[in-house]
Structures are given as C-alpha cells and as structure tokens.
C-alpha cells in the first residue's frame, strides 16, 4: 500500500462542475480544512487545472479524474501517468462509472500507478466487483452502486458492512471506501462508523448552501466516527 495513503480520508470530487477559478476557490477552502483537522483530503479537478491547484494549495492530495496505462511515446489523446505526476498529481481515480475501463486495462493502470508512486483509487459498482478489483492491489477501492450516484441516497447498512468485510478479507492492504449517494456529514459519519475508512461526494458538497462549510462538516464527522470506533 502506498505510504502516502492515510486514514481516515475525505474525497472532494467536483468532477467537471467546477473548473478554473471556481475549482481553485473550493480547493483553497478544502486545503484549510485539511490543515485544521489533519485529515487527508483527496481533491479532484479537471486535468488542465492540476498545476493551478497544486501551486496554490499545501495540504491537499491532488487527484486526477482518470489515468491511462501508457508509457512515454505514442498514445495520442491518452493520459500519460508521468505527465500527471510532473504536474503535481499524487492520486488518481480509475474505472469510475463515468470513465470505465476493461479489467485488463484497469490492472495495467494500477501497476503503472505503483511504478510512479501515485495513489490508485479504483472504483467498483458491486461487492463482487470490489473483490475482483481488490486482487489487483489498488490503494483504495470505492465500492459504490452506480445507480445511487448523485441520488442523495446512500447504500444500506448491510451493503456497507458486507462490502468492507469482503474487501478486507480479499486484500487487507486495500483501504475500503463507500461513497455513492453521500450528501451530508451524517452520511459520512454513518459510513465510517460501519467500517469504511473514508468517503466523499460531489453533489452533496456542491449543492450545499456553503460548499466550504460542508467539506469541513464532513471532515469532522469522519474524524469523529473514526475516533469512536
């Protein structure tokens, strides 16, 4: 497991709803939360904004939305891991429902991340798929039912408990994360209390009256649940 991947953690994932200055504004707020609380915050942003956000924050783990397995050379329009790392990327999502990969490519991409020391956050949409992905040895697995993404409805307790257990049974080096449908600090608290070591969201933060305050509330809820385990 990548030693830079700490627990507990929060993923702030604006996807492409924010970009440029709007993305940087939320990143700076999240950066302050990370500084104040000590929690690891993974902040995703459009690839073109990676340097902007990296150069203007100190405490965030800058995270790309995706990455490919190619090496320097040919590969027009693919995402080169070395280029991302040089720009400041320290972690990456792989196989998100909005950017899926074949299992063969997923495995190759996780290996490339290991070569470069990039934290791999691999997505799975079921308990069974999460077990299969765990065998590829990513640093983190987000096991989220795809149909719950953006709904504001989190997976039921049984799913969270079973999935976390099976990921750990399959590969104890992988950090289990449950995330789909998360919208409040209470959701974060509940998920971590049930066994996950991190969570995160998109719409739950962006649609909040104050996204910056929502990030802080979520971070504090995750820490509280971790301390009560």
Catalytic residue chosen out of the listed positions 90, 144, 217, 220:
144
* Banded model confidence at residue 1, pLDDT cuts 50, 70, 90: confident
C-alpha 216/C-alpha 221 separation (Å) is 9
Residue 96 bears catalytic tag: yes
By three-state DSSP, how is residue 122 classified?
Answer: strand
Catalytic residue chosen out of the listed positions 25, 55, 96, 228:
96
The chain-wide mean pLDDT, for the chain, equals 94
20 belongs to a structural domain: yes
C-alpha 18/C-alpha 45 separation (Å) is 8
76 belongs to a structural domain: yes
DSSP states of 126-167 as a string?
A: SHHHHHHHHTT--SEEEE--GGGTTSS-PPPHHHHHHHHHHH
At 38-61, the pLDDT tens digits run 999 999 999 999 999 999 999 999
C-alpha 5/C-alpha 197 separation (Å) is 11
2 belongs to a structural domain: no
Kindly give, in sequence order, each residue whose CB lies less than 8 Å from that of residue 213, ignoring residues fewer than 6 positions away.
none
172 belongs to a structural domain: yes
Residue 222 structural domain: 9-228
- Number of domains composing the chain: 1
1 belongs to a structural domain: no
Q: 75's torsion region: left (phi>0), alpha (psi -120 to 50) or beta? A: left
* Banded model confidence at residue 144, pLDDT cuts 50, 70, 90: confident
Single pTM value for the model = 0.95
82 belongs to a structural domain: yes
By three-state DSSP, how is residue 12 classified?
Answer: strand
Q: What is the CATH number of the domain that holds 93?
A: 3.20.20.70
Residue 65: pLDDT over 80: yes
3 belongs to a structural domain: no
Residue 217: pLDDT over 60: yes
4 belongs to a structural domain: no
At 117-142, the pLDDT tens digits run 999 999 998 899 999 999 999 999 99
């Amino acid at each position: 497991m990548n030693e830079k991947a700490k627990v507990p953690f929060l993923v702030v994932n604006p996807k492409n709803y924010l970009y440029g200055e709007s993305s940087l504004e939320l990143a700076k707020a999240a950066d302050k939360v990370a500084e104040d609380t000590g929690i690891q915050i993974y902040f995703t942003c459009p690839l073109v904004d990676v340097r902007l956000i990296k150069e203007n924050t100190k405490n965030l783990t800058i995270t790309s939305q995706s990455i490919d397995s190619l090496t320097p050379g040919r590969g027009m329009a693919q995402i080169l891991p070395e280029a991302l790392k040089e720009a400041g990327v320290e972690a990456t999502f792989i196989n998100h429902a909005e950017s899926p990969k074949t299992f063969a490519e997923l495995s190759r991409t996780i290996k490339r991340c290991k070569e470069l020391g990039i934290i791999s956050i691999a997505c799975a949409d079921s308990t069974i798929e999460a077990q299969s992905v765990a065998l590829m040895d990513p640093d983190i697995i987000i096991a989220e039912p795809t149909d719950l993404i953006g709904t504001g409805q989190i997976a039921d307790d049984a799913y969270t408990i079973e999935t976390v257990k099976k990921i750990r049974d399959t590969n104890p080096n992988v950090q289990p994360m449950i995330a789909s449908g998360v919208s409040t600090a209470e959701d974060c608290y509940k998920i971590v209390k049930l066994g996950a070591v991190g969570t995160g969201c998109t719409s739950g933060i962006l649609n909040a009256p104050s996204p910056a305050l929502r990030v802080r509330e979520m971070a504090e809820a995750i820490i509280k649940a971790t301390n009560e385990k």
